[in-house]
Amino acid sequence: MGDFKGRLIALYQYRGFVLSMVAREFRSRYMGSLLGSIWSVLNPLALIIIYTVIFSKVMRAKLPGIDDSMAYGLFVCAGLLPWLFFVELLNRFPNIFIEQAALLKKVSFPRITLPVIALCSASINFLIIFSLFLTFLLVTGRFPGWVVLEYMPLLIIQQMFVVGVGVMLASMNVFFRDIGQFMNVIIQFWFWFTPIVYTQSMIPEKAQALLSFNPMTYFLQAYQDIILRGIGPDYMNFKWHFMGALIALVAGFFVFHRLADEMVDEL
């Protein structure tokens, strides 16, 4: 417990380093481009327009049970945006210590800052794209109201889980390099095993039963209900998800604590 507390204190002491690295990542992502940071708005805006306008107006995709020409596009965006937030970390975390091997060898700083920097960067990206999505809902007269704030508790639980799993994978991947590649394959299957571009009712009953074992199914259905129906989630249905996320978080930082001192030698 003392070591864990010490790492938290060190993280607080290096908060300036974390903030500067997050700002540096944001700038470097668009450095050298003509429009610069404007791309941080244009890219997500293009994604929202593609899924809402193209699917709804050009392909005329319909969502069963909802009489709205844009319902299917909103359905996809409501689930896809938090899924991308989830996957951005799940993709990045396994290689985070390997990618910063040179920095870890040359500079003395708390290694736990690297996952925190990744989390902060991903959170900023999500806030930008989600704000644009809410603006789009306002402009089109489809804003669900203050119930949209109920995204936040679900996102916190969701990201607690991915941070715990991600930190564990990042620590282990230093010693077993196949983990990062394996996760790329898992994520591809996980996407199609999650009701993002289809509703659960669209698939056979046997397949619907399988989806109930996917924890992301419940999160995405809750997000979609908030946007399309203005209905907030029943948080009691997420008590086990919260417990699982908490266990993943504790397990992830336990593995990190056990392996942190040997990482530099392995790198």
**Residues spanned by the domain of 24:** 2-266
Residue 37 pLDDT > 80, yes or no? no
CA atoms within 13 A on the CB side of 41: 8
What pLDDT sits at residue 241? 92
Residue 262 pLDDT > 60, yes or no? yes
What pLDDT sits at residue 103? 74
What pLDDT sits at residue 212? 80
For the segment 35-60, the average pLDDT, to the nearest whole number, is 61
Please name the helix (run of DSSP H) or strand (run of DSSP E) that holds residue 216, with its range, or none: helix 215-229
What pLDDT sits at residue 156? 93
Q: In a 10 Å sphere around its CB, with 0-12 CB exposed, 13-18 middle and 19+ buried, how is residue 227 labelled?
A: buried
Total number of domains in the chain: 1
Residue 258 pLDDT > 80, yes or no? yes
Buried b (16+ CB within 10 A) or exposed e, 91-129: bbbbbbbbebeeebeeeeebbbbbbbbbbbbbbebbebb
Please give the residue that has the higher pLDDT: either 256 or 179: 256
pTM (two decimals)? 0.84
